[in-house]
Every structure is written in C-alpha cells, then in structure tokens.
Amino acid sequence: MKFKNIYITLLLLFMTAILSAQQDAHYSFYRYNMNLINPAYAGAGEVTNIGMNIRSQWASVQGAPETQSLIFGTPVGKNVGLGVSIVNDKTFIEKQTWFALDFSYRLQLNEGNQLFFGVKGGFASYNVNTEGLVTYGIQQDRSLMNLDGRFNPNIGAGAYLRGERYFVSLSIPRILSPDRLQENDGEARLGVDKIHTYLAGGYDFDLGGSTQLKPTVLFRYVDGAPLSVDFTTLVGFNERFDIGAAYRLNEGLAGLFLFTAKDWLQIGYAYEMATQNQLRSVENGTHELMLNLKL
C-alpha cells in the first residue's frame, strides 16, 4: 500500500512539474543571477561577473527537476554590456540545454538612476525520452516521436531600471514557442513552449548602522497557468552577511543565506520546502546553491 501511494504521488508530481504550463525553472536567488531571465542585466553591475547556480528540487524523488546554470556579464565601454547564459535543465523524462548571448545598453536618466535595455539570442537542445511515459502510465500520441534531439532557436528582451536603493525588472527571456511535451486531458501530446513574462522589483531600506532590510518581489506570468508570485526578504549585516526568507504563493517556503567575502566572492544557499500536502509526503526539500565572482 505504501509503494502504491508513492507511485500515485510521483504521478501527480510528473503531471504538475513536467506537463504543466509553467515550464522554466524557479530560482530563489533571482536577484543575484537576473540575466538568466533578463538580458538587460548583463553588464549592469559595472564589473565583470561570473555566476553559477545549482538547484536540486524535491530531494529524494527520483528524476525530480535539476537545474544547473552558468552566467557571465561584463561592461564594454561606457554604456554597453555583454553576457552569456547557459542553463541545463532536467525534469523526469525531459532534458534541455539553453545557450544564449546577451546585449544591453544603458541610458543615464540622471545622477542616481539608470535604465538598461537588453536583447537575448540563442538556442536550446531539447530531448525527451517518450518511452519513460510508460513508467507513469500516461498515454502519448505519435507526434511525440519527433521531439527528441531538437535544436530550437529563440530570442528575448528586457528592461532594467536601477536607482541607488531600488530596482525594477521587466522581461520576456524567450519570445518564440518551439514544440515540446505537453499534457492535454490526461494524455501526453505535442505542445509548445509557453511564453514567460517576469516582473520584479526591490528596495533596500537602511535600518541604521550597517544593517539593511532588502525586500523583493517577483511576478511570473505564463498563459494557462496561475500567476506565480515570490516574496523575498533579506536582512543584511555589514555588507557581508544576508539572511532571510521567501514565500512562493501557494507553492513553497524557503530560507536563504548569503556570505560576501572581500567584495569579490558571494556564496548563497537556499532551502525550500513545498506547502502542498501531496509533495511534502515524499520530498525532502529543495536545495539551491549560488556562487558569484566579481572581477
């Protein structure tokens, strides 16, 4: 009976994670690796930045989502920024590697405010093991046989407004909609990638001394899916330690910790747990590790 319950739960996980309308990975540290979702952020830090992020979702669940990303951004001249982003995403029977080049241009609005515009161009290799659907007892149509080994080009765009204490980000990292696996009435069929629109913002409050309060919010809209909202609040100490919590509406809670060493190395760890009962019964949380180098 216990095995049967686990099997049913895994099936629910598969249906919600792989065949849902929301198809891109979540990131707890979206504020610190933002050019993954917004090309306008490339070079916005005014120094060369190299970042790595590893996210392992629903630990202890075999085949659960795993995402590894590598980002690079650097200013070129006075107003231009260039970047590279590589994302490797694996979820049950799907595997996708996304490679993109970013270009951004800065407008100096006044002494304390800057507006960046960015474009992203790249491609993804997409593979799906359709035979694995048998494991989950899901039917499929024959058109899925043509999905394996595809290379899908794509483009994206974004804007990033930054002040001394605040930021606002609006972006669509992938505008085109290539074919991919999709659920329809309990059957796996040939579908399309959904366009993801991101709106994020944050403000740093000075609490006195060397302490800051850093609340941020991220809205993610995907056609056919509920609006995803992330609320994150960090408290920074001496520009060295940041600790806080995050809440993803109706999905999960997370604790976050960041350490900055000598202004060039930043290490972050987040632990997230699901709020849905069917997930909490089988998963041991989600782990995310971030590393940023500022050169």
In tens digits, what is the pLDDT along the chain, a chain of 295 residues? 344 444 445 544 554 544 444 567 889 999 998 989 999 999 887 889 999 999 988 776 766 788 999 999 999 988 999 999 999 988 777 788 999 999 999 999 998 899 999 999 999 887 776 665 555 555 555 555 555 667 788 999 999 999 999 999 999 999 987 655 555 555 555 555 778 999 999 999 999 889 999 999 999 998 878 899 999 999 999 989 999 999 999 888 999 999 998 888 999 999 998 887 666 666 678 899 999 999 8
The gap from C-alpha 159 to its chain's centroid, in whole angstroms, comes to: 17
Question: Among candidates 283, 287, 281, 284, which has minimal Cα distance to 269?
Answer: 287
Longest CA span, the chain: 66
CA atoms within 13 A on the CB side of 154: 26
Measured CA to CA, the distance from residue 191 to residue 93 in angstroms comes to 15
Question: Among candidates 19, 51, 31, 64, which has minimal Cα distance to 274?
Answer: 64
| pTM strictly above 0.95 | no
